[in-house]
Structure 1
Amino acid sequence: MKKIVKDALVLFAITLVAGILLGVVYQITLDPIAKANENAKEKAYKAVLAEADSFETIDALPSDDDINASSDIDFSKDKVNEVAIGKKGSETAGYVVTVTDSDGYGGDIKFTVGISTDGKVLGVSFLSISETAGLGMRAKQDPSFTSQFTDKSDAVTSFSVVTDGSASESNANVDAIGGSTITSKSVTKGVNYALAVYKLVAGN
């Protein structure tokens, strides 16, 4: 009986010490992990808004109803993850909108969209994408696709995907990736969603 009690006490002591050590390790690594996540986020932001030297996250995001009411596009499969204002000194350099579109061929596609103060898309950078290698994954791997959203002479309120190679005929058209129309439409809808969010946030 005494041996059983002794073994139980030893086991309890070991468990207690292990729990305390795990708690200490967790607290020690908490700040570095948070810092690493923050650095990764800022890197993603600067990838689409290089002019900014700092970013301020917006807490009050537009509601789904307001976003859907602002456009004729069906955004039921889109959500806004975060919006940040890019600052260059005290001036606003632009906005970064992080969105997720759930209409990808392989599921959710999450990416950031950099938008200038006059509503032009400055960059698109993927955070997570699970499309087919050699097909839909080219949305991330081939910059010629995402570059179709940028370098426009005028701000585009909404982009459309074309499959006949005629994108150059209109500022608002985007050539689909060969064999990956679903992915192309998903990303394009996500960009349009980001633009709709930007307009509400910026008051444009």
Structure 2
Amino acid sequence: MAALGQSIRRSAIGLGLFAIITGGTIAVTQVMTEARIDQQIARAEARALFEIIPEQHHDNDMLADAFQLPADPERGFNQPFTAWKATLQGQPVGLILPVTAPDGYSGDIKLLVGIDPAGEVLGVRITSHKETPGLGDKVERKKSDWVLDFNGRALDNPAAEGWTVAKNGGVFDQFTGATITPRAVTKAVHKALLYFRNHQSDIQLQSGDANPQEQS
């Protein structure tokens, strides 16, 4: 009986050690994986910034000229976030907002929306998604030209009812076999334009385009 008890205790200790080691390995792997994913997203964002506003169109360091803007849950910005500005000879030429479309077919779709001072879209780029290959992934610039249709668009071009896919009465194309993904991205771009319109004072003050003393 004593031998049996010792055997059971050894087995229990062995199982406990195995569980601790396995749990630790999984935790470390998860942390490392998340860090790599964050790095990949950061690199994708950096590339996308210069695709939306090419270097020859601004003379500031956009990556360094990042600033915080306030949350606006009604328009999909649930917490304060970092935006980037582009200037040329001290004058603003564009603002890039990070946007999340929460209603993609397979989850969140992260994108950047560039907007000029007049409120027109300079460009849109997808930086992260899990949409279906061959269908929803056509929102990526490298897979199709679909996102280029946003260039030059504004809140009145088209009117509010046009900011959806053609299947729902809008002006933007959907993909064959995939409507949810382009509809989600279109909705997110429209919300970015609404945010830009409704937060002009925040954008001017926090990007350094206005003097706070002149606002009083």
TM range, smaller chain: 0.5 to 0.7
**Whole-Å separation in 2 of the counterparts to 1:150 and 1:52:** 18
State the shift of 1:193 in Å: 1.6
Q: Quick one: which amino acid aligns to residue 92 of structure 2?
A: T
The structure in which a higher percent of residues are strand is: 1
Q: Quick one: which amino acid aligns to residue 57 of structure 1?
A: A
Q: Secondary structure at the match of 1:160?
A: coil
Cα pair distance change 1:81/1:187, threshold 3 Å: farther
Q: Could you list the per-position Cα deviations for residues 23-82 of structure 1 after superposition, in whole angstroms to 9, with x for gaps in the alignment? A: xxxxxxxxxxxxx99776443212112223332222232432xxx2xxxxxx46977743
TM-score (norm: length of structure 2): 0.60
**Whole-Å separation in 2 of the counterparts to 1:38 and 1:130:** 17
Q: Could you list the per-position Cα deviations for residues 127-180 of structure 1 after superposition, in whole angstroms to 9, with x for gaps in the alignment? A: 10110011001111444311111144995365221128x86xxxxx21112211
Whether contact under 8 Å (1:101, 1:109) holds in the other structure is yes
> Which residue of structure 2 aligns with residue 100 of structure 1?
100
Q: What is the RMSD computed on CA atoms of the aligned residues? A: 3.2
> Which residue of structure 2 aligns with residue 46 of structure 1?
50
Residues paired across the two proteins, number: 155
Q: Where has structure 1 moved over 6 Å in runs of 4 or more?
A: 36-39, 77-80
Matched, 1:149 2:153: no
Matched, 1:184 2:190: no
Structure scoring higher RCO (CA < 8 A, sep ≥ 6) equals 1
Whether contact under 8 Å (1:86, 1:93) holds in the other structure is yes
**Deviates further, 136-145 or 176-185:** 136-145
Q: Quick one: which amino acid aligns to residue 50 of structure 2?
A: K
Matched, 1:61 2:70: yes
> Which residue of structure 2 aligns with residue 84 of structure 1?
84
Unpaired runs of 5+ residues, structure 1, are 1-35, 69-74, 168-172
**Whole-Å separation in 2 of the counterparts to 1:40 and 1:183:** 19
Unpaired runs of 5+ residues, structure 2, are 1-39, 204-216
> Which residue of structure 2 aligns with residue 175 of structure 1?
173
TM-score (norm: length of structure 1): 0.64
Cα pair distance change 1:149/1:100, threshold 3 Å: same
Q: Quick one: which amino acid aligns to residue 199 of structure 1?
A: R
